[in-house]
């Protein structure tokens, strides 16, 4: 792997009792996770006083197709070793569809590969993948029926749908925005998402996934969509944030990003009464 494939984006800072280091493994063309996650954790810091720093490794990906996604997966171990050099507390593997393209429950294998690579490098860390985070968060919420918005071409959206359904969660409806260039995905306007989500079939759904992709910007629209739709709204980014906080043992206290991250969400069973 060349230096162009893996670069450190944030220099390590001295780690104190109130600072947690978060490692990110992202596609080389990703422009969203390194903006949305720091903003979410900034809000967490405002409430709790806990500080968070971010340290990234990048794996080549330009177009969201099966071939490039599988090639990216092959670099996960090398990326984990690189980012673990910063002695991070947790590593988030932030490419949901790259993992899901490998087949049912592939997040378990990917997370194991990353954890073993970090440990072999002498810096063990907790690991969360966006794919695993999305599925586990829905399960943690008690969601049995969901609807979702994805930026991908229809075949990849269908693959994500089947992956979620393989975890025992029915996908009632899915809207595919038919974008395959990853930079173009990152340039989509999140302010359009509430209107798009209103077009979903949502009969008796327990949650809506507003962005089933870590590259599609969604943070500015999450709270608005949740308020309008009247059901919990999550995204690949908010689910990943939720899992990072759980791995660190920190209670969510994030404002303006939906009930999941406010610390006030209830399970679907409780909402059903």
Inside any domain, residue 167: yes
Portion of the chain with pLDDT greater than 70, in percent? 85
How many domains does one find in the chain?
Answer: 1
Cα separation, 211 vs 113, whole angstroms: 26
- The alpha carbon dihedral of 131, 136, 141, 146 has a sign of positive
- Rounded distance, CA 2 to CA 6, Å? 7
pTM of the model: 0.89
Domain that holds residue 145: 141-234
In a domain, 9, yes or no: no
Q: What is the per-residue pLDDT across 160-210, written as a single tens digit (0 to 9) for each? A: 999 999 999 999 999 999 998 888 999 999 999 999 999 999 999 999 999
Q: Residues comprising the binding site for substrate?
A: 30, 95-97, 152, 182, 214-215
pLDDT, position 11: 46
H/E stretch holding 20: strand 19-27
Residue owning tokens 């791995």: 247
Q: What is the CATH number of the domain that holds 174?
A: 3.40.50.12500
240: closest CA among 80, 90, 125, 28? 90
**Long-range contacts made by residues 261-266, C-beta under 8 angstroms, separation at least 24?**
261/40, 265/141, 265/232
Asked whether the CA dihedral 206, 145, 25, 58 is positive or negative, the reply is negative
pLDDT at residue 6 tops 50: no
Residues acting as catalytic residues: 95, 213
> Looking at the domain assignment, is residue 112 inside a domain?
no
Distance CA 21, CA 139 (A): 27
Residues 105 and 36: beta-carbon distance below 8 Å = no
> Is 126 strand, coil or helix?
strand
HSE, CB side, 13 Å, CA atoms: give it for residue 4: 3
Residue 194 included in any domain: yes
- Residue located via tokens 């308020």: 227
Q: How does residue 77 score in pLDDT terms, banded at 50, 70 and 90?
A: confident
| Mean pLDDT value of segment 54-60 | 85
In a domain, 59, yes or no: no
Q: Go through 186-210 and write b for each residue having 16 or more CB atoms within 10 A of its CB, e for each that does not.
A: bebebeebbeebeebebeebbbbbb
- Grade residue 45 by pLDDT with cuts at 50, 70 and 90: very high
pLDDT tens track for 240-255:
999 999 999 999 999 9
CA angle, 207 as apex, 202 and 209 as ends, to 5°? Answer: 95
Specify whether the backbone of 2 is left (phi greater than 0), alpha (psi in -120 to 50) or beta.
beta
Q: Is 222 inside any structural domain?
A: yes
For the chain, what is the radius of gyration of the CA atoms? 17
Looking at mean pLDDT, say which of 9-23, 97-111, 206-220 comes out highest.
206-220
The reply to whether 155 falls in a domain is yes
91, 97, 100, 101 alpha-carbon torsion, rounded to 10°: -130
Q: Is residue 221 part of a domain?
A: yes
**pLDDT tens column, 118-142:** 999 999 999 999 999 999 999 999 9
Which residues are known binding-site members? 30, 95-97, 152, 182, 214-215
Q: Measured in Å, how far apart are the chain's first and last C-alpha atoms?
A: 53
The count of residues in the chain is 273
């Amino acid at each position: 792997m060349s230096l162009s494939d893996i670069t450190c984006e944030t220099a390590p800072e001295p780690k104190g009792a109130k600072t947690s280091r978060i490692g990110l493994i992202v596609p080389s063309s990703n422009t969203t996770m390194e903006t949305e996650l720091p903003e979410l954790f900034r809000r967490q810091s405002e409430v709790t006083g806990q500080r968070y720093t971010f340290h990234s490794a990048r794996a080549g990906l330009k177009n969201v197709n099966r071939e490039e996604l599988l090639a990216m997966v092959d670099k996960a171990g090398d990326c984990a070793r690189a980012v673990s050099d910063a002695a991070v507390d947790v590593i988030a593997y932030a490419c949901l569809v790259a993992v899901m393209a490998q087949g049912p429950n592939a997040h378990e294998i990917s997370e194991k590969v990353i954890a073993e690579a970090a440990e072999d490098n002498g810096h063990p860390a907790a690991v969360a993948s966006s794919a695993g985070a999305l599925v586990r968060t829905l399960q943690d919420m008690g969601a049995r029926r969901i609807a979702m918005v994805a930026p991908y071409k229809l075949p990849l959206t269908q693959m994500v749908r089947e992956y979620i359904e393989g975890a025992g969660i029915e996908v009632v409806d899915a809207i595919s925005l038919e974008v395959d260039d990853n930079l173009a995905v990152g340039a989509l306007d999140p302010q359009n998402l509430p209107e798009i989500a209103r077009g979903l079939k949502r009969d008796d759904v327990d949650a809506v996934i507003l962005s089933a992709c870590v590259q599609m910007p969604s943070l500015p629209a999450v709270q608005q969509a949740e308020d309008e739709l009247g059901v919990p709204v999550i995204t690949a980014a908010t689910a990943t944030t939720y899992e990072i906080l759980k791995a660190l043992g920190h209670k969510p206290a994030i404002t303006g990003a939906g009930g999941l991250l406010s610390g006030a969400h209830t399970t679907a069973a409780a909402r059903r009464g």
